Structure 1
Amino acid sequence: MGKFDDLPEIRRQGLEKMEQVYGFEMNDMDGDFFRYTADHLFGDIWNRPGLSDRDRRLLLIGMLSTHGAQDVLSIQIPAAFKAGELDEDALREIVIMVCHYGGWPVGARLNSLVEDTIAKGR
């Protein structure tokens, strides 16, 4: 029996997807914010057909980069690298694209995070 088996199906799916996407163990929590995050965003949106997790991650990294969301990027970049969705070459290519479409300072911040992630993964 899994640790989420006693939860409603949509919450179970959401928490399992959150663990997969973030790369660390999740716990169920109370409150509307967490409910929308687990049930809707991860239970529904991240499980929709049409885009792979890697595709979704690429879109998310691009959007987060241009919004300066280093806190969430510091979760997404290492998780994508650890999951094998994005290797060293792909991460570095993302930096080049972000520099040119999002601006050099945005890309430079992302580059620091990417290089730190790669160094820690070796």
Structure 2
Amino acid sequence: MKNRYEFGMEMLKKVDGHAGEAVVAPLGDLGKILVETFGDIYGREGLSLREREIATIAMLTVMGRETQLKVHIVAGSNVGLTRQEMEELIIHTVLYGGFPTAINGMNLLNSMTLPGEVK
């Protein structure tokens, strides 16, 4: 049986590939806690990884957390979200977060090359 950290890293790699490791590596004990908690939440039944990334992208957009949003836009692409779906998702956040946060989210998405895209 895997411990919480190993399971968390397994889930993180499914969502973020190796990018997640780079995010948590410099965080020391905080990174360990993050990985364990990520596994606890993302490993639950009831929502697919795709659905979890939809929720995460929406929340990070509304909260204006652009650094983390960038990571989760890539993660969304990794779990099957298309650029068009993410654009619609960000447009949807206008109702709850307002235009400034949606504009920032859309500008961030538009500045990125997603896995598999060529710009």
TM-score, structure 1 normalization: 0.78
Larger Rg over CA atoms? 1
Aligned length: 112
The alpha-carbon deviation at position 84 of structure 1 amounts to: 4.6
- Work out whether residues 8 and 39 of structure 2, in 8 Å CA contact, stay in contact via their aligned partners in 1: yes
Distance, in Å, in 1 between the alignment partners of 2:31 and 2:83 is 32
Relative contact order higher in (CA < 8 Å, ≥ 6 apart): 2
The alpha-carbon deviation at position 46 of structure 1 amounts to: 0.6
**Matched AA of 2:4:** I
- Cα deviation 1:73-119 (Å, max 9, x = unaligned): 011102212x1521022011012101232111111011111212257
Alignment gaps of 5+ in structure 1: 1-7
Q: Greater helix percent: which structure? A: 2
- Work out whether residues 50 and 79 of structure 2, in 8 Å CA contact, stay in contact via their aligned partners in 1: no
User: How big is the alpha-carbon RMSD for the aligned residues of Structure 1 and Structure 2?
Assistant: 2.2
The alpha-carbon deviation at position 43 of structure 1 amounts to: 2.1
**3-state SS, counterpart of residue 48 of structure 1:** coil
Distance, in Å, in 2 between the alignment partners of 1:10 and 1:16 is 10
Alignment gaps of 5+ in structure 2: none
- Work out whether residues 88 and 118 of structure 1, in 8 Å CA contact, stay in contact via their aligned partners in 2: no
**3-state SS, counterpart of residue 93 of structure 2:** helix
What stretches of structure 1 move > 6 A for 4+ residues in a row?
none
Change in CA separation of 1:13 and 1:68 when aligned onto 2, cut-off 3 Å: same
- Work out whether residues 13 and 42 of structure 1, in 8 Å CA contact, stay in contact via their aligned partners in 2: no
- Work out whether residues 70 and 109 of structure 2, in 8 Å CA contact, stay in contact via their aligned partners in 1: no
Distance, in Å, in 2 between the alignment partners of 1:42 and 1:115 is 27
